[in-house]
A and B are shown apart, each in its own frame.
Chain A
């Protein structure tokens, strides 16, 4: 079974500052990793995903994440945030060998960007 831990429920940050949202996972099998963003009253939008290859993954809106297998982490980073980045961010995993698209989500991190 897999599980995902997002260590911070809320991260306040000032506009134009860098930010890192942390994600750790636990799994007995190889997994694919995802970051989704949810704006108020909306569904989830994929920011980026790691399937294989380079451990540094670049996504939309200037976000990137680094897969660290030894630390079982997949932290999300952005060098300079904007007010419009205020949203809930979810880390998720899926079983590489599974036959379904089932995603296991973390509890989410609310990124609150202040002017």
Chain B
């Protein structure tokens, strides 16, 4: 069974640009979450989608957005990039909506903003 797949793995963007990151969850998983990992702030929850609906959102500005498609694939978008947005963005999926389910993480997308 394929794991959580994230694309692209590495990308470099310029301040002010926007970026879209993609995540394909494990087959059959309906919940997809996104996390930002930085050396200074650690791992922070961005948002979670379940059956195409955003179910929870972390404390990030509106420049960070996401969506989920009917096949459970998800994308996140960051507009008007800032230097501080440089981070590893991790996507995670779980089988269903129940809390306590094992959450499986992808290898992440490394974003560098210059």
> Given A43-B90, A94-B100, A102-B45, 18 more contacts at CB 8 Å?
A36-B105, A43-B4, A43-B107, A43-B108, A92-B43, A96-B99, A98-B56, A99-B55, A100-B97, A101-B31, A101-B48, A101-B94, A101-B99, A101-B103, A103-B35, A103-B103, A105-B44, A108-B43
Does B72 belong to the interface (CB within 8 Å)?
Answer: no
Does B102 belong to the interface (CB within 8 Å)?
Answer: yes
A residues contacting B by CB (< 8 A) are 32, 36, 41-46, 49, 51, 90, 92, 94-108
Interface residue from A32, A46, A96, A101 paired with B33 (Cβ < 8 Å): A101
- Interface SS majority for chain B: strand
CA gap between A102 and B56 in the complex, in Å: 8
Counted as pairs of residues, one from A and one from B, with CB atoms less than 8 Å apart, the total is 69
The contact size tier of chain B is 20 to 34
**Which residues 41-80 of B sit at the A interface, judged by CB distance below 8 A?**
42-45, 48, 50, 55-56, 58
B residues contacting A by CB (< 8 A) are 4, 31, 33, 35, 42-45, 48, 50, 55-56, 58, 90, 92, 94, 97, 99-108
Report yes or no: B106 in contact with A94, Cβ–Cβ below 8 A: no
CA gap between A100 and B56 in the complex, in Å: 7
